[in-house]
Amino acid sequence: MSEEIRTRIAPSPTGFFHIGTARAALFNWLFTRRFGGKFILRIEDTDKERSTEEYEIDIMECMNWLGMDYDEGPETQGEFGPYRQSERSEIYKKYADQLLADGHAYRCYCTSEDLEAEKKSAEANHLPPKYSGKCRNLTPEQIAQYEKEGRPSTLRFKIEEDQPVKFKDLIKGPMEFDPKLFGDFVVLKSDGLPTFMFAGIVDDTEMRITHVIRGEDHLSNTPRQILLAQAMNLPIPEYGHLPMILNSDKTKMSKRKNPVSVSHDFRDQGYLPEAMINFMVLLGWSPSVNSILDGPTKTDELYTLKDLTSGFDLADIGKSPAIFDQTKLDYFNGYYIRQMDLGELTHRALPFLQKAGLIKKESEELLQIIALVQERLKKLSELPELTDFFFHLPNYEADLLIPKKGTKEATLKALEESSQALAQEDDFSRDSLDNLLRALAVKLGLSAGEVLWPIRAALSGKPASPGTFELLGFFGKDESLARMKKAIDMLK
């Protein structure tokens, strides 16, 4: 590509960073990085009532956590800033004044009651809701009267209905819209703040954005922004609209009903950024047959950011909705946990164990514990429940000690005999314990499971845990015998 690629992600800080916004950010980031362009973070905070600093911080922290760095943003000194819309009022006013002066916009003095009445009338007549244009041709005398009354006004863009709006979507292909369906829309609200559509096209121009890659829910905004750009003689970016993300039951994802917050529902629940990236990129994208990513090493759909940066292509994004598959996300997360270096995994696990009050700092013992449960982990938030018995005596019901098809009497006998045998054993290596306990099972006329299950349950207090020999090796003779004695007392 001849010109420098410049893309942006422009979230509103009116809620926590959304999985849909994160996916859009990822696709923009990958496309930009592949072609050596610039990726910009712009904060669209013109909704003063709902925008908060907390949400803005969450956006930037999540971007950083996912590994998606940006070249320009709120805390940078880029030449096209400021990068918060709340700090760009004078820029919007300049463009709005020009629209008004050129006859492409007009003052609208309709009240909210007027607009609601129009909407209900349209619904009653089975017509699409659009503004009637009643303020388009106000006389100077009417305008003067409204101004004298102090009636608030908005600035509306005049829709010219003679030509359809056409553009080639980078993902969906050729698109065409009939402007007769739009109605004159607001570009400046009565408080002087710009609307989403107006601020967006102005900022994209000022920030030299070449490609706008965003969700399909913005598709209806694009023809309006193209009309604005044409009226102001502004360059029009290339647009691409990503398929919607649906729940597994094909319903639309909801902020209220579904896990959508990157920080609260994923990061804080113990998902790894590597897994999130791998999962999100497959929400609507898959490498083509000719892609460098499509080969024998990638048949399992496992991709790193490095893989993706070199092979991502917008042409490989589908048009159909993407399905959010929780099972697939858990699979990816478990895979990356199992592949992770033990020291790195322990470091990432630390906050979850600290929050549960189980430990205060890393230790050699903690490394051993993480090694024992690494293969079982699907997400880091499971760690406290999986490991609490390593840090304090477990609480459990005596029935847990009795294996399936076993009896209380046989279990008690197995625990008593194995306790005596272990008390006389100095070698707690796996091979030594394996030979000892399996020989004991034969001597007692029991299966190996009838001997090993009660010991493992006595040590962990859980129906599922690391194996008997691993636990005996970790706890050592004294602690193991103490826990087994508690179990014997419970059965008696």
Largest CA distance in the chain: 109
Which of 255, 257, 408, 443 is flagged as catalytic?
A: 255
Measured CA to CA, the distance from residue 190 to residue 188 in angstroms comes to: 7
- With H, G, I as helix, E, B as strand and everything else as coil, classify residue 77: coil
Q: H or E element: which one contains 312?
A: none
Active site residue 255: yes
In 284-353, DSSP assigns E strands to: 322-323
387, exposed or middle or buried, with CB in 10 Å at 0-12, 13-18, 19+?
buried
Which pairing describes strands 185-188 and 211-215: parallel, antiparallel, or unpaired?
unpaired
CB 454 within 8 Å of CB 460: no
Tracing tokens 């190996």 back to the chain, one arrives at: 448
Rounded Cα gap, residues 107 and 271, in angstroms: 51
Q: How far apart are CA 318 and CA 330, in angstroms?
A: 23
Distances from the Cα of 438 to the Cαs of 204, 264, 469, 479, in angstroms?
Answer: 72, 47, 11, 21
**SS3 of 412, please?**
helix
- If we measure between CA atoms, which residue out of 167, 107, 170, 447 comes closest to residue 318? 170
According to DSSP, residue 17 is labeled P
Buried b (16+ CB within 10 A) or exposed e, 217-242: ebbebbbbbbbbbebbebebbbbbbb
Report the relative pairing of strands 245-246 and 322-323 from DSSP bridges.
parallel
| Residue found by looking up tokens 């990157």 in the block | 262
Backbone φ and ψ of 8, nearest 5°: -150, 155
Residue 265 burial by Cβ neighbours in a 10 Å radius (0-12, 13-18, 19+): middle
Tokens at residue 315, please? 């042409």
Cα separation, 217 vs 354, in Å, equals: 41
CB atoms within 10 A of CB 339: 11
Residue with tokens 């006329």: 445
Task: Give strand pairing partners of 167.
Answer: 175
Token pair belonging to 361? 């700092």
Task: Report the catalytic residues.
Answer: 255
